[in-house]
Amino acid sequence: MHASVYIATSLDGFIAGEDGDLEWLTGADPGDSDYGFAEFVASVDALVMGRNTFDFVMATGEWVYGDKPIFVLSHRPLDLPNGFPGRAESMELSPHAVAAECDRRGLDHVYVDGGETIQSFLRAGLVRRIIITRLPVLIGSGIPLFGPLRADIDLALVRSTPYENGWIQDEYEVVS
């Protein structure tokens, strides 16, 4: 299994405000692009996300993942609405145990989402690709995308794409 990250941050590197506020992102004008998101989602076999991220996605009312398996890292059971289109299950596993489970199920490419989940998969050495779309806004403080690491993680820039609305998307491959 290999994992990829696709996420947006403020220019100062936060994925949400102190209280989880996403107004800086949800209130921004995305223009006419989906920033390659549909193509990216089509390339993955499954998703792994933290509980807060899953709850946020559920609250938006928009489900863009089709029937791909979703592994929600949580100790709480999921309360899914009737007619829920995805296949979501809650699990309490380490990143390596999640990778082993994905391998067991024949899932090769996994989309990892959510701050703590991304950080734990990075620390475990399981992330191979990172796509970050930076918005031209400074929020000053909040929940950072990256946290403490045991060692440096070297990245190679694959591409950088500026958009007319000021958003910049960088794609990196993990090389160490």
Q: What is the pLDDT of residues 105-133, one digit of tens each?
A: 999 999 999 999 999 999 999 999 999 99
pLDDT of residue 86: 64
Any idea where the domains of the chain sit in the sequence? 2-174
Task: Return the number of other C-beta atoms located less than 10 Å from residue 22's C-beta.
Answer: 16
Sequence letter at residue 57: V
For residue range 142-155, what is the model confidence (pLDDT) as tens digits?
999 998 888 999 99
pTM comes to: 0.92
Superfamily for the 2-174 domain: Dihydrofolate Reductase, subunit A (3.40.430.10)
- Read off the pLDDT band of 66 (50, 70, 90): confident
d(CA 43, CA 39): 6
For 4, list phi and psi in degrees, rounded to 5: -125, 150
The mean pLDDT of the chain is 92
Locate the DSSP E strands across the chain.
Answer: 2-10, 14-16, 46-50, 69-73, 87-91, 109-113, 127-135, 143-144, 155-162, 168-174
Structure-token match 């958003």, residue found: 167
Sequence letter at residue 150: R
- Read off the pLDDT band of 83 (50, 70, 90): low
Collapsed DSSP state (helix, strand, coil) of residue 47: strand
The arithmetic mean of pLDDT across residues 82-93, rounded, is 79
- Nearest of 89, 142, 94, 141 to residue 115 by alpha carbon: 142
d(CA 150, CA 168): 28
